[in-house]
A and B are shown apart, each in its own frame.
Chain A
């Protein structure tokens, strides 16, 4: 029994030792695997998020033994972390790209807005429902409103002109891209009206391959171009044509009437026939002068006129001009006074042209001076310049008229009915004096008291 007991005790000790060794071995293994997982995790946590990717992570992380029971779990955890990190990075990239696009779009918008603001033409953009989506400052000022990002406004609420609203909203309702234009007259607060040419353009969004409208610019743009000057020019042109035709018809009427009287044998005696022929001749001359005035002005303006400058006596030339205007002055009982310098005033001029200018100034003075008035023609040597003046006791000009009286076709409104004219005489005189001869033609006037037109010309070789 003792032997058996000994054997049993020995076996028990052996078993205990074996158990202890096994337990130690398991503990050692468990500690080793735990250490591996812990180092793996620490290394994973120490990695910079930007370095977290499947390519480099495997090499930088401490390996896990193949028998480590946590290996599968640790690897799944690592892969999940990598996947999430990749997704976050992708989102960050997308966000950065979006931010760049957004910044670009904002810059583009600001640029376009600044360009629109910089344009003098009022511009409005409306959507398909007639609501204003964009308007530049000129448009806001013209129609007295401010575009508000929060509150959209209908075009019809902002613009009173029905024609404009109908044009723009009508264009917006069209199914296809189109543009239409019309001229409209808009009035401001002070009741002044201005003409605009409105062009409404319906934008067509770019079509995708499947035929459905894709994203892109939509809506209808209305651009208002101020055509006030063009209208004024057209009006002046029409007035000019009307004045020219009236001016031509008057001598033509004389010629036609007297030719008919002669043809019908109404003039029975020689004296009457002579008188009628005289009228026909003088009216033909008048017609010729008018045509020459127009042609001369056109030619001087176009720069194609031939100028033949020669030394001339200014006084002689002025006397000739007086002689031409004398009958018209007599017909109105206007005193035509001559106050010419006793000195010889030598000027280097194209005789015909300067004579024309002097006649225009004198006949203008006679036209706008009432019966029994006075027109004075004066010449002087003034600071080595030859000067002549036409002074009248006529109706005079306002400050505005003084500024514009040399404009082509301009006729003083208040005096239009006082005399017929083409609005060409003074511009022609100014061209002749200033552009052709390098002199000056100026006017000073007091409304209701009279005007003085004065001409200065460079003087050459004066003698007493």
Chain B
């Protein structure tokens, strides 16, 4: 079943790989190169899931998550954070404080990304604070 997915990353080749895999699985994917662009698209497109990088120009991943969570329209939107930060990010804190639904480490597998997205979208609406077994 086609899902609306918003992908946000400042590295164009990462964006392209993830977009390619998700589109091939039949999903409708929109892409943004930074947090500001993603926020503008979010308001228009109302995606069913947001996949975002952590470190980006203009508005970073955390800033974007903060905006998403503080807007009632997107407060329960599932968010998957894709990051190369590794242990520097406290995944539990991301989940607890920011309701980041899942965290996936870069380098990532497009196949696993697709599986994670589909699993998150099968689950009932974002319960907040849940974490999924993709932390590395």
Q: Is the CB of B14 within 8 A of A250?
A: yes
Q: Mark B47-67, 1 if CB is under 8 A from A, else 0.
A: 000000001110010000000
* Residues of A with C-beta under 8 A to B60: 417
Interface presence of B119 (CB below 8 A): no
Q: Is the CB of A245 within 8 A of B55?
A: no
Tell me which residues from 239 to 284 in chain A have a Cβ below 8 Å from any Cβ of chain B.
Answer: 242, 245-246, 249-250, 252-258, 260-261, 264, 266, 279, 282-283
Given A245-B84, A252-B107, A258–B17 Cβ distance below 8 Å? Answer: yes
Shortest CB distance A53–B (Å): 89
Interface presence of A91 (CB below 8 A): no
Q: Is the CB of B55 within 8 A of A253?
A: no
Interface presence of B43 (CB below 8 A): no
Interface presence of A418 (CB below 8 A): yes
* Residues of A with C-beta under 8 A to B106: 249-250, 252-253
* Residues of B with C-beta under 8 A to A419: 57
Given A256-B109, A279-B16, A266–B11 Cβ distance below 8 Å? Answer: no
Return the contact of B84 from the options A253, A255, A264, A417 (Cβ within 8 A): A253
In whole angstroms, how far apart are the Cα atoms of A279 and B57 in the complex?
A: 22
In whole angstroms, how far apart are the Cα atoms of A365 and B33 in the complex?
A: 20
Q: Is the CB of B14 within 8 A of A254?
A: yes
Interface presence of A331 (CB below 8 A): yes
Interface presence of A338 (CB below 8 A): no
* Residues of A with C-beta under 8 A to B26: none
Interface presence of A166 (CB below 8 A): no
* Residues of A with C-beta under 8 A to B111: 260, 264
Interface presence of A420 (CB below 8 A): yes
In whole angstroms, how far apart are the Cα atoms of A283 and B11 in the complex?
A: 11
Q: Is the CB of A249 within 8 A of B84?
A: yes
Interface presence of B12 (CB below 8 A): yes
Q: Is the CB of A260 within 8 A of B84?
A: no
Q: Is the CB of A254 within 8 A of B84?
A: no
Interface presence of B88 (CB below 8 A): yes
Given A245-B84, A253-B84, A260–B14 Cβ distance below 8 Å? Answer: no
Q: Mark B64-94, 1 if CB is under 8 A from A, else 0.
A: 0000000000000000000011101000000
**What is the total number of residues of chain A having a CB less than 8 Å from a CB of chain B?**
24
In whole angstroms, how far apart are the Cα atoms of A417 and B12 in the complex?
A: 17
Q: Which B residue's beta carbon lies closest to that of A280?
A: B13
Given A250-B84, A257-B14, A266–B108 Cβ distance below 8 Å? Answer: no
In whole angstroms, how far apart are the Cα atoms of A261 and B22 in the complex?
A: 11
In whole angstroms, how far apart are the Cα atoms of A74 and B100 in the complex?
A: 114
In whole angstroms, how far apart are the Cα atoms of A385 and B61 in the complex?
A: 47
Tell me which residues from 28 to 56 in chain A have a Cβ below 8 Å from any Cβ of chain B.
Answer: none
Q: Which B residue's beta carbon lies closest to that of A264?
A: B111
Q: Is the CB of A260 within 8 A of B109?
A: yes
Shortest CB distance A394–B (Å): 12
In whole angstroms, how far apart are the Cα atoms of A5 and B20 in the complex?
A: 180
In whole angstroms, how far apart are the Cα atoms of A420 and B20 in the complex?
A: 25
Return the contact of B24 from the options A249, A250, A252, A266 (Cβ within 8 A): A266
Q: Is the CB of B56 within 8 A of A417?
A: yes
Q: Is the CB of B17 within 8 A of A242?
A: no
Q: Is the CB of B17 within 8 A of A254?
A: yes
Q: Which A residue's beta carbon lies closest to that of B62?
A: A417
Interface presence of B21 (CB below 8 A): yes
In whole angstroms, how far apart are the Cα atoms of A408 and B84 in the complex?
A: 22
* Residues of A with C-beta under 8 A to B14: 250, 253-254, 257
Given A266-B20, A419-B57, A257–B109 Cβ distance below 8 Å? Answer: yes
Shortest CB distance B59–A (Å): 9
* Residues of A with C-beta under 8 A to B108: 253, 256-257
Tell me which residues from 93 to 136 in chain B have a Cβ below 8 Å from any Cβ of chain A.
Answer: 106-111
Interface presence of B18 (CB below 8 A): yes
Return the contact of A417 from the options B55, B85, B110 (Cβ within 8 A): B55
Q: Is the CB of A253 within 8 A of B56?
A: no
Q: Is the CB of B84 within 8 A of A257?
A: no
Return the contact of B11 from the options A242, A254, A258 (Cβ within 8 A): A254
Return the contact of B110 from the options A252, A261, A283, A331 (Cβ within 8 A): A261
In whole angstroms, how far apart are the Cα atoms of A255 and B13 in the complex?
A: 9
Return the contact of A261 from the options B11, B12, B21, B84 (Cβ within 8 A): B21
* Residues of A with C-beta under 8 A to B57: 417-419
In whole angstroms, how far apart are the Cα atoms of A207 and B21 in the complex?
A: 80
Given A249-B107, A256-B109, A261–B13 Cβ distance below 8 Å? Answer: no
Q: Is the CB of B13 within 8 A of A260?
A: no
Q: Is the CB of B17 within 8 A of A261?
A: yes
Shortest CB distance B126–A (Å): 25
* Residues of B with C-beta under 8 A to A266: 20-21, 24, 110
Q: Is the CB of A257 within 8 A of B110?
A: yes
25 contacts between A and B (CB under 8 A): A246-B85, A249-B86, A249-B106, A249-B107, A252-B107, A253-B14, A253-B106, A253-B107, A254-B14, A254-B17, A257-B13, A257-B14, A257-B17, A257-B107, A257-B108, A257-B109, A257-B110, A258-B17, A261-B17, A261-B21, A261-B110, A266-B21, A279-B13, A283-B13, A417-B60
Shortest 4 CB-CB distances between A and B: which pairs?
A249-B84, A257-B17, A253-B107, A256-B107
Given contacts A252-B106, A254-B17, A260-B111, 4 further A-B contacts (CB under 8 A): A242-B85, A245-B86, A253-B11, A257-B14
